Amino acid sequence: MQLRGLCNTLLLMTLASGAAFAQPARNQISYDAQTRVFRLDGGGITYAFGVNDLDEVQPLYWGAQLAKGDPLPAAHTNSGVASFDMPTSTTPQEFAGWGAGLYYEPALKITFPDGNRDLVLHYVSHHIDGDSLTLVLKDVERDVFVTLHYEIDPSTGILGRSAEIENRTRQPLTIMQAAAATWALPQGTDYSLYYLTGRWAGEDHVQHEAVHPGARVLESRRGSTGHQNNPWFAIERGSTGNEETGDVWFGALAWSGSWRITVEQDALNQVRVTGGYNPFDFSYRLAPGEKLVSPVFYGGFTQHGVGGASRLLHRFELTKILPQAPHPRPRPVLYNSWEATGFDVNEAGQEALAEKAASIGVERFVMDDGWFGQRKDDHAGLGDWYVNPQKFPHGLKPLIDKVHSLGMDFGLWVEPEMVNPDSDLYRKHPDWVLNFPGRPRTQGRNQLVLNLARQDVRDYVYGFLDKLLNENDIAFLKWDYNRNWSEPGWPAAGAEDEQQVYVKYTQNLYSILQELRAKHPGLEIESCSGGGGRVDLGILRYTDEVWPSDNTDPFDRLSIQDGFTYAYTPGVMMAWVTDSPNWVNNRTTSVEYRFLSSMQGSLGVGANLNKWQPEDFATAKQLIGEYKEIRETVQHGRLYRLISPQQDSEHSVTESVAQNGSQAVVFALLHSSQFGYPFPSIFLHGLDPGAQYRIHWISSQPDGAAARMMAAPLPETASGAYWMNHGIALSLRGDFQAAAFRLDKVGAP
């Protein structure tokens, strides 16, 4: 009785504080030896699979948590419905080898030296250890072992799945295709798929379409994650597109090399999602005794729509993925020189910008491209990572000292994986790039890709970065990567092994990042790839933030940022305020509009401060001050996408609620008024209905020059129920108008 009372009290406290995430419970993984059913529980979900009569491992359930003791009948082979549908294909499997009669996407496909390409994986053993489970499978005949790893996050219910393939035969074998996992959804046809598409300067468009019979392939063949698709998906039951309600299964692949996620609805209407290394141009020879480990494919479930799916992922990234998890430090307000000075950097110019940046409250000053080698433009210098003596005759120290004296820390741009043919490095080591001997070497932005899979290249890259960090007081690296692969050859590896480049390149990238962080513990890193070309849960294990797009137009950014947050937390989403008119669309917007667009992520400034007027500095200083009051909520809170700017919407409204429920922050932006229609009412989410919240305007006052005009007077203080149910009418009118306010819980610390 007493215990139950305590539990209820805890539950009420959790609800009252608005915390949406269950506390960890113990004993989350169980195995029923009688039925041979495994059950994983955590974060409000249950995931179950079983070993069937043929010893195949078969998915049984993935969804909202079942009651303890609920029946989960043993798995059994589906004998098929016709001679054209073999049992191998009609029985869903957790991790299917390509063999017997498998017609859907396999998780693993192997070619043996004797020509055999048949692989049938059966259960051998398992091991449960706290929140993780390993399962060993083996081919029915040969000593090929596959260890499946499952780990459940007790707070979000997100499962991490991966596979380790081991060759215990006496001959080498070749892996032609290797996934991390296959996720199976309940039988049905009423599903719709969300995914992200884009291109350079146009990332993260949200696509939403019905799942049809056949396969939808999301992928990158580019050697890295890519701007074009992102390794994330969400599948909704039905197709209402309702942000906050409905069953949604979602997943994200933690891999920054070529990848593929295949969403299939087979002939018997089974929907499954398989993801891992991209099998295109892939082969990986495993010598006897060797292993190949797949990336981790994370998957989750929510009953709170795609908005709920995003919030679970955000929480998971902040508490489990990021290098500073579970308590990443808030992103400092940053200044970056790129859009102001381009390649034309020097000591005096950067110092002048630093002084101006410090005056508005910037906390980190970052010098971008142009400081090294013979880098006058993008034709030369990449690979030669010495400080350019003409631009910085005394090295970087005077600039760094100056930045420190202004109370900021110092960050520097690097692009470690690239080389310009016009560089000392390339003249010395032309064989260090990806290439096929005797073939042309296609350049992108006048540069080639260093083959990081090579140990000597890996050591060179680590070595110069370590030296740079040893010699200079650098708090932050903006790690750029400005082209995709071409001619992905690795001649030195030998013909049989050179396609291992698809795995070893990225593994070495991760190992460099990891080693640098271990050696330089205070160091923070941003992943940039000409904008958002390398954003995924793999790189986020080693980097603290990402650059979502080179497109800094504050209106375009709204939809890029909106799409970005489907998969990734605003806590890693750098967003700069730059100049107007913006270089992308020649669009003119006010300083305030630009700030209110960027303040929805991790705020930065990238404008040419030498051109700013005193009133611009005043607005910037005021809004940076306001941002510091809300950044914990914006970066680490719960995001509600109240009105989406996708599909040419005129409106965009986001709300972030602090994890402890003490604050909510709302940004409302208007493209252009038409026909005198009012701005739609805003109904908040995630507040405590019974608590009182006081409004505080972040943007200019109603009688000020800028955007906000209220349709009807708003109360200064009202209950959470009022703000959520009565709603808020903002009279935003005109072109590119914006307003922002926060609600502070009265009496909250």
Q: Which residues are annotated as a binding site for substrate?
A: 200, 368-369, 445, 478-482, 528, 550
DSSP letter (8 states) at residue 679: P
Among 251, 530, 601, 661, binds ligand GLA (CB under 6 A): 530
Nearer to ligand GLA, 413 or 736 (CB): 413
Nearer to ligand GLA, 295 or 530 (CB): 530
Whether residue 537 contacts residue 254, with contact meaning beta carbons closer than 8 Å, is answered with yes
Q: What are the backbone angles phi and psi of residue 609, rounded to the nearest 5°? A: -65, -15
Annotated active-site residue in 384, 544, 550, 556: 550
Cα–Cα distance measured from residue 109 to residue 548, given in angstroms and rounded to the nearest whole number: 35
Among 56, 151, 368, 384, binds ligand GLA (CB under 6 A): 368
Q: Is 266 a catalytic residue?
A: no
| Interface stretch with ligand GLA, choices 113-121, 500-508, 527-535, 693-701 (CB under 6 A) | 527-535
Among 98, 372, 413, 568, binds ligand GLA (CB under 6 A): 413
Whether residue 312 contacts residue 155, with contact meaning beta carbons closer than 8 Å, is answered with no
- CB 230 → ligand GLA: shortest distance, Å? 17
Residue nearest ligand GLA, CB atom distance: 369
Token representation of residue 626: 């306001």
Interface pattern 332-361 for ligand GLA (x via CB under 6 A): ------x-----------------------
- CB 313 → ligand GLA: shortest distance, Å? 24
- Residues of span 77-106 touching ligand GLA by CB under 6 A: none
For residue 35, count other CB atoms closer than 10 A to its CB. Answer: 16
Whether residue 40 contacts residue 133, with contact meaning beta carbons closer than 8 Å, is answered with yes
Cα–Cα distance measured from residue 142 to residue 168, given in angstroms and rounded to the nearest whole number: 8
- Residues of span 459-498 touching ligand GLA by CB under 6 A: 480, 482
Q: What pairs with residue 150 in β-bridges?
A: 133, 161
Site for ligand GLA contains 300 (CB under 6 A): no
| Interface stretch with ligand GLA, choices 19-27, 108-116, 464-472, 525-533 (CB under 6 A) | 525-533
DSSP letter (8 states) at residue 393: T
Bond before 326 cis per omega within 30 degrees:
yes
- CB 644 → ligand GLA: shortest distance, Å? 26
- CB 620 → ligand GLA: shortest distance, Å? 20
Cα–Cα distance measured from residue 163 to residue 181, given in angstroms and rounded to the nearest whole number: 7
- Residues of span 688-717 touching ligand GLA by CB under 6 A: none
- CB 552 → ligand GLA: shortest distance, Å? 9
Q: Is 703 a catalytic residue?
A: no
Nearer to ligand GLA, 302 or 482 (CB): 482
Site for ligand GLA contains 526 (CB under 6 A): no
Nearer to ligand GLA, 584 or 729 (CB): 584
DSSP letter (8 states) at residue 698: -
Annotated active-site residue in 409, 480, 536, 688: 480
- CB 265 → ligand GLA: shortest distance, Å? 38
Residues in the interface with ligand GLA (CB under 6 A) total 11
| Interface stretch with ligand GLA, choices 71-79, 231-239, 523-531, 561-569 (CB under 6 A) | 523-531
DSSP letter (8 states) at residue 101: T
Site for ligand GLA contains 550 (CB under 6 A): yes
- CB 446 → ligand GLA: shortest distance, Å? 11
DSSP letter (8 states) at residue 726: I
The string over 534-553, giving b where at least 16 C-beta atoms fall within 10 Å of a residue's C-beta and e elsewhere, is bbbbbbbbbbbbbbbbbbbb
Residue 276 vs residues 86, 182, 197, 527, 568: alpha-carbon distances, Å: 25, 9, 18, 21, 19
Whether residue 211 contacts residue 192, with contact meaning beta carbons closer than 8 Å, is answered with yes
Question: What's the full length of the chain, in residues?
Answer: 749
Token representation of residue 365: 């000053």
Q: Rounded to 5 degrees, what angle do the CA atoms 299, 305, 310 make?
A: 55
Whether residue 513 contacts residue 507, with contact meaning beta carbons closer than 8 Å, is answered with no
Among 166, 243, 266, 369, binds ligand GLA (CB under 6 A): 369
Cα–Cα distance measured from residue 445 to residue 439, given in angstroms and rounded to the nearest whole number: 19
Among 44, 531, 538, 686, binds ligand GLA (CB under 6 A): 531
| Interface stretch with ligand GLA, choices 42-50, 180-188, 312-320, 524-532 (CB under 6 A) | 524-532
Nearer to ligand GLA, 94 or 368 (CB): 368
Bond before 689 cis per omega within 30 degrees:
no
Tell how far CA 500 is from the center of its chain: 25
Nearer to ligand GLA, 372 or 547 (CB): 547
Residue that is written with structure tokens 């008024």 in the block:
673
Which residues are near ligand GLA by CB under 6 A? 338, 368-369, 413, 480, 482, 528, 530-531, 547, 550
Catalytic annotation, residues: 480, 550
